[in-house]
């Protein structure tokens, strides 16, 4: 890693393999950080967390630092990983989408992985498969989101980035029915777009399923019923009056929170 020469420490980074893609940027950032580190010859090494006054690492302190610093956690899209209306695997999928860590062909290419079929999206034939195209610009994405907007009785110019798409559902729809419900709808759309992509890649079936809208409605209905106890609306009502059902979920969760705050624990 380095050596002392004439009373000064010189860093020498040696890696097991050549860095690729994002790793090169991380290496440059590491070198800049190490430039400001001053070592004392003969002194022992100790671990110290610089963001804590006592130098000890804590999960809460680390999260607070990430949430308030410049990075992916500051944008609204990453808040969907805390959506309690969806299964944990779907929230994890949303987190990976938020960080652009899904194994799209574009990301695989950046990692140095060579694919025999190339890096173009199989459905569009000529467009590179990357997240913004896959979830926003592709015809499949437009079709899925158009059906969802029609279901909710909304009209909008569809955004051309994943962040814009998330901001619309979590922000615009979230202002009407709550951010968690907006996150849930965004995640079910993204989940089925990724599912249809995988079906296309691995099974060679083209396009979205014909009953896509009904499948998304069924999936969200199951998720919400499993996560929110006491919601009495039926699947027919969820299909026909989604706004009213979403408001019922929002009010139900608010009333439960007020109830538990008012409860005095027994001693």
Name every residue whose Cβ is closer than 8 Å to that of residue 182 and which is 6 or more positions away in sequence: 169, 170, 171, 172, 173, 174
Residue 59: the pLDDT is: 86
State mean pLDDT over 157-168.
Answer: 85
For residue 87, what pLDDT is reported?
92
- Mean pLDDT for 11-35 is 81
Please enumerate in sequence order all residues whose Cβ is within 8 A of that of 54, keeping only pairs 6 or more positions apart, or say none: none
- Give the span between the Cα atoms of 215 and 195, in whole angstroms: 12
pLDDT at 263: 45
- CB-CB neighbours of 166 under 10 Å: 26
Domain boundaries, the chain: 1-43, 81-262
The model's pTM: 0.69
- Percent of the chain past pLDDT 90, that is, above it, reads 20
Give the tens place of pLDDT for each residue, 36-56: 777 777 777 788 888 888 888
pLDDT bin (cut points 50, 70, 90) of residue 191 is: very high
* Average pLDDT rounded to a whole number, residues 141-156: 89
| Chain segment 231-260, per-residue pLDDT in tens | 788 999 999 999 999 998 888 755 455 433
Please, are residues 171 and 86 in contact by the beta-carbon 8 Å criterion? no
CA angle 203, 208, 213 (to 5 degrees): 135
């Amino acid at each position: 890693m380095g050596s002392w020469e004439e009373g000064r420490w010189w860093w020498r980074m040696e890696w097991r393999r050549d860095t690729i893609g994002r790793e090169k940027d991380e290496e440059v950032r590491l070198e800049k950080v190490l430039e400001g580190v001053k070592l004392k010859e003969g002194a022992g090494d100790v671990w110290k967390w610089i963001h804590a006054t006592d130098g000890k690492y804590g999960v809460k302190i680390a999260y607070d630092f990430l949430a308030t610093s410049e990075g992916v956690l500051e944008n609204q899209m990453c808040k969907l990983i805390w959506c309690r209306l969806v299964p944990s695997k779907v929230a994890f999928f949303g987190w990976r989408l938020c960080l652009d860590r899904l194994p799209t062909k574009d990301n695989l290419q950046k990692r140095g992985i060579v694919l025999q079929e190339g890096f173009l999206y199989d459905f569009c034939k000529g467009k590179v498969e990357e997240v913004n195209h896959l979830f926003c610009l592709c015809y499949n994405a437009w079709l899925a989101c158009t059906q969802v907007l029609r279901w909710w009785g909304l009209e909008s110019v569809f955004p051309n980035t994943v962040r814009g798409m998330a901001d619309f559902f979590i922000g615009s729809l979230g202002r009407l029915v709550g951010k968690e419900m907006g996150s849930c709808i965004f995640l079910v759309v993204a989940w089925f777009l990724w599912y249809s992509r995988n079906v296309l890649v691995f099974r060679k079936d083209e396009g979205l399923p014909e009953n896509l809208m009904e499948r998304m409605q069924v999936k969200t209905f199951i998720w919400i019923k499993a996560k929110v106890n006491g919601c009495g609306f039926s699947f027919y009502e969820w299909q026909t009056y989604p706004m009213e059902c979403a408001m019922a979920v929002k009010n139900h969760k608010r009333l439960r929170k007020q109830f538990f705050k008012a409860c005095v624990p027994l001693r």
